[in-house]
Amino acid sequence: MRGRYENLTRTRALDPEQDYLTIYQTMLRYEFAWDMKLGFNLAFNRSFSIPAIAAVHTATGELTEHTQKRLDDTGLLMYEMVLNGFDQPRGRDALRRVNQIHRPYDIDNEDYLYVLGCLVVIPTRWLQQYGWRRPCCHEIRATYLFYRELGRRMGITDIPDSYQDFDTWFDTHDAVHLQPNDDAAAIERATRMLMLNRIPTPLAPLGNALVSAMYDAPLRRAMRVDTPAWPIRAGLHLALKTRSRLQRWFGTPPTTPLFADGITTKTYPNGYDISQLGPQETPAPRRPSR
């Protein structure tokens, strides 16, 4: 356990109002690397599942026909912003590209806000339940501040005033809008492989059931995913809890940060140009009426 809490000690000495980027980078690159990457996957899955948002994605065909590229592009743009912030050249370029990609679409502010909420709330809840320790108040505040800044730079308005307010808003919005829909089901079928790739090889025969068990009941209903058997859900919960305890008792902080050698993906084995990420010629389907 030597040094297990050194990063937490350093984080608690920082001011999240000023140092939120440093704190959030430490969470991703050192403290919770595996969990936060999985949390991002779950967040994106949920953000694609609101009927109005899912309809836009199926209309473009990017997620259902070019699934690996679309997911890689999304991940790269997000990680570039986290690794570099919004004022360094690569982070600034990634943010510019995100805004370029979304500009042609007629998307409500409320839908943008929901996607932002997924990125704030879903990974944090995963850490609170399955991280090797629960995120501290500085880390929760830094998470909120990072995405509040991202939202502001994307022109999103009415962002809740704190993590706690966003958490409450998210659940209220979810309860009303996360409804079963065929578009979400189609996207989930296309993107399931990303989650399956995170299942350890010995558990591969149970892969589909385990992926479904990672979704909560409202998300499964929206995606039209069958509820896995109780032993699968209970076994996954127990395994994740056991993993968190073993990490807490016997783990050590990594000495090499995540992405120290750059970000690699299947789509871009030889590197990538930020300006070329995402669709190059984007049609502008109208968002469906609610």
Domain-located, residue 31: yes
- Residues spanned by the domain of 137: 14-271
Domain-located, residue 287: no
Domain-located, residue 25: yes
Domain-located, residue 87: yes
Domain count, the chain: 1
Domain-located, residue 198: yes
Top pLDDT among 225 and 255 is at: 225
pTM above 0.85, yes or no: yes
Q: What is the 3-state secondary structure (H, E, C) of the chain?
A: CCCCCHHHHHHHCCCHHHHHHHHHHHHHHHHCHHHHHHHHHHHHHHHCCCHHHHHHHHHHCHHHHCHHHHHHHHHHHHHHHHHHCCCCHHHHHHHHHHHHHHCCCCCCHHHHHHHHHHHHHHHHHHHHHHCCCCCCHHHHHHHHHHHHHHHHHCCCCCCCCCHHHHHHHHHHHHHHHCCCCHHHHHHHHHHHHHHHCCCCHHHHHHHHHHHHHHCCHHHHHHHCCCCCCHHHHHHHHHHHHHHHHHHHHHCCCCCCCCCCCCCCCCCCCCCCCHHHCCCCCCCCCCCCCC
The share of the chain scoring above pLDDT 90, in percent, equals 80
pLDDT score of 285: 47
Domain-located, residue 147: yes
- In tens, the pLDDT along 21-75 reads 999 999 999 999 999 999 999 999 999 999 999 999 898 888 888 888 999 999 9
Domain-located, residue 6: no
pLDDT score of 171: 97
Domain-located, residue 276: no
pLDDT score of 10: 96
Above 60 in pLDDT, residue 169? yes
